[in-house]
Every structure is written in structure tokens, then in C-alpha cells.
Amino acid sequence: MEKPNDLGTSRLSRREVIQAGAGALLGSAAILAGAGEMARLSAQGPAAVQATPPPATDPKYPMPPAWNRELRQLAPNVYAYLQGGGPGVSAAGVSNPGMIAGSDYLLAIDAAQGPIPANAFIAASKQATGKDFGRLVNTHHHGDHVNGNQFFTHAEILSHPYCRDECVKAAATTPKMWDKVPGVAEGTEQRKLVPPSVTFKDDLTYFIGGTEVQFKFAGPAHTWGDMMAYLPQYKILFAGDVAFFWVAPYANNSYITKWIEVCDKIAGWDVDVIVPGHGPIGGKKELAEMANYFRVLGVEARKRYDAKMSPGAAAAEIRLGRFDNWIGPERLIMDVVRWYEEWDSTLTPDYNAMAVREATIEYNQVKAGQKKVSEMIPLSRMEALADPC
């Protein structure tokens, strides 16, 4: 049965939702902003992808490290393609793919976000090994993991059935050309979302060259279709978006309680190195910290839920202490929305665009009332975050 929020969402296109929200944002900004600030907000427009401004940092707490874009070898024939990032670098939405080299082909774990990062990953892999990709496993359906599928032209593509279903749905409305986005696409490339053609629900193991690669289902956690790749010989885990290190976790399609449980389960595995979907390489300690982000947020959000505060007002009030400097702080709003949906028993696998929009508007109204313009979040930035496929 459709829930009221789903009905509301289906009556409006995502673009309409965001435009409506942007109007409200400008309205709330008008409460306090002078003409210059209004002009700045207006000039941003509702649909442009915004560079994330440097977050308001608190020197009391640790700052994320900076890390480079590189193809890093982790073990014989095992590589991670790390996207560069760090404080002030807007790369929170660009994911880290992995690569395992066999004797005659390469296996990719995720395909990156668009033509520029996907082709850079493919070229770096070819340069390092002299080989081409023959298999690609998508860890889940989000665009920064599957949008590059089209560039793996001779590879068989695999995923969990939920991931494939979501990609098939999204492919129907995927634009024919890439928009120009710095670091993602020139804007001249043809675009096509290629869904996985092979699905598997549970464990699947590849023996590639001398490397055993165990794909393990982890969902529902970050999404309802999460796959991770575990390499027992080297104690390496490619966790996909089950792991965000130093980057605020993105929970638009998540079941946060189960996600924390998966992190706790991994703590008992024989793992030394974890390649996260976002952020620098880490291990169990970093994964436990990400789970703690959700625990701390859950405690703070629950107090306000019990006090009948709305998710947007709650998000505007919550401080996360040592997590406040993590990259992508605006994700706190969607994460509070997801916690509330769990407690209301209204959680579904789908992203609730209307609820996040309402929460963002309310969040901005609170910040406007406090004259904290710098902490307001353009809805266009939330739109950029809401584009999973």
C-alpha cells in the first residue's frame, strides 16, 4: 500500500519538489538577509549543482585528513581507486571503486559516478595491469556507483536484484546526454544507464588469478541491496557504502538500525583493511566510528522525537561533537528523517523526497531565525544529494 508521503511525492516531479522548496528557502532567507545575500541565493538557482562550501568547523574536534586521488595497490593484484578528498574539497559524492586483476581480465567493484572518474579509473587500471575489465559488480544502485557502467563496454555487470530493479527504473528517465559537471562530465558525452545483467542474492565467490573474492550481501543497511567484497587471504573488505570514513554517511535509502548491526558484525570478521565507498582507506576502528555517528545522532534525535519536535527542527538543533567536522554535514538532515521514519514505522526502501524537502525548509527557517545564514542549506544542494541513479 502506498503511504501518504509516497502519494505526495508521486504528484510532483523531483524538480518541482525542489523548486517549491527553493522558493520557501528564499522566503525564509528574506526574513533576515539583506539584498546582497538574497541576490546571492537567487543567483544560485534551484537546479544547479552547488559546490559544497567549507563546513563550519569546530577546532575542538578532529579535522578529516586530506587524501589523494590515486590507484593504490593493497595486495598482489588488488587495488583501490581512491577519489581525492579532504576538508574543503567537494568530493563527498564521488565513490571509491576497487579492482582485482586476474590472469586475463579485471574485475571492477563499482563503476564511479560519470565519464571523467569512470574513464580515469579504467585508464589507470589498464596502465597498471595491461588488461581490460571483464566483470563489474555494483555494490548498490546509487548513481556514484552505477552511472559509470556504460563505460565498461565489454564487462558483464552483476548486482543484487534490488540494485538491478532500481537501475532499470532509473534508466527509463536517465537523460540522453551528460550535464557538464566539473570533475564528473564535460557535457558532451552521450549518457545511458546500463543496469546489471546478472543478479545474485547471497554469497558469490570469484577465484581470479590467485585471489578469492567473496561477495557478501549486507542489506538492508545503506540500501536494500548492498553487496560487499571480502578478500580473506589479505583481510581486505571493499565495503561499498556500508562504510563512510570522515564523510557524513548518506542515509536516504537506509535502514540505520540494521546498518549499525552490519558494522558490529564486521567487527567480528578477520579484516584489517576496509575500503569505504567514501573517504580514505581505514579499518574496523573507522567503521566503528561511523556506526557511532549514527548512535550519537540517534540518541540526540530520539530525545527530540519524544518531545514531538519535527525532524527539521531537531536537525537544526543537534550538534554531533567529534563528528561535526565530517565532510557533508548537511546529510544530518536526511539521516534524522530516516531515524524518525524508523520510529514511526513508516520506513520504506525508497527515498522520501517530500520529507527531506520539508525538513530542509524547516531547518533553514530555524537557522534564519537564529541569523545563521552561513549554516543554511540551499535545496539545490539537497537535490544534488537526492539523485541516487
Q: What residues line the site for Zn ion (CB under 5 A)?
A: 142, 241
Residue closer to Zn ion (CB basis): 142 or 357: 142
- Least distance in angstroms from the C-beta of 251 to Zn ion: 9
Pairwise CA distance, residues 274 & 244, whole Å: 10
In the complex with Zn ion, the residue whose CB is nearer, 165 or 241, is 241
Sort 22 into a burial class: Cβ within 10 Å, 0-12 / 13-18 / 19+: buried
Q: CA-to-CA distance for 268 and 273, rounded, in angstroms?
A: 13
Residues 71 and 128 sit within 8 Å (Cβ to Cβ): yes
Nearest distance, CB of residue 121 and Zn ion, angstroms: 17
CB of 95 to Zn ion, least distance (A): 7
**How far apart are alpha carbons 113 and 9 in whole angstroms?**
25
H or E stretch covering 70: strand 70-75
CB atoms within 10 A of CB 180: 12
With left for phi above 0 and alpha for psi between -120 and 50, is residue 385 left, alpha or beta? alpha
Which residue, 85, 110, 106, 116, is CA-closest to 96?
Answer: 110
Nearest to 92 by CA among 254, 374, 280: 280
Distance of closest approach, residue 242 Cβ to Zn ion, in angstroms:
9
Angstrom distances, CA of residue 317 to CA of 304, 313, 341, 365: 9, 7, 19, 12
Q: How far is the CB of 157 from Zn ion (least distance, A)?
A: 17
Q: Which residue, 142 or 367, has its beta carbon nearer to Zn ion?
A: 142
Residues 270, 267: Cα–Cα separation, whole Å: 8
Q: Are strands 133-137 and 106-109 parallel, antiparallel or unpaired?
A: parallel
- Positive or negative torsion for Cα 69, 75, 76, 80: negative
Closer CB to Zn ion, residue 21 or residue 143? 143
Shortest CB 30 distance to Zn ion, Å: 35
Grid cell locating 53: 562550501
Q: Residue 131 Cβ, how far from Zn ion at the closest point, in Å?
A: 28
Mark out the alpha helices in the chain (DSSP H runs).
4-11, 14-32, 35-44, 115-129, 143-146, 161-171, 256-266, 284-306, 311-317, 331-344, 353-369, 379-385
In angstroms, give the least distance from the CB of 240 to Zn ion: 7
Q: Which amino acid is at 189?
A: E
Shortest distance (Å) from residue 281 CB to Zn ion: 18
Q: Looking at beta carbons only, is 241 or 324 nearer to Zn ion?
A: 241
Query: Closest CB to Zn ion among 142 and 381?
Result: 142
Measured from the CB atom, the residue of 19 and 159 that comes closer to Zn ion is 159
Smallest distance, Å, CB 328 to Zn ion? 12
Task: Rank residues 241 and 300 by Cβ distance to Zn ion and give the closer one.
Answer: 241
Contact at 8 Å (CB) between 33 and 374?
no
Give the residue with the Cβ less far from Zn ion, 251 or 366.
251
Nearer to Zn ion among residue 142 and residue 216 (C-beta): 142
Residue with cell 559516478: 113
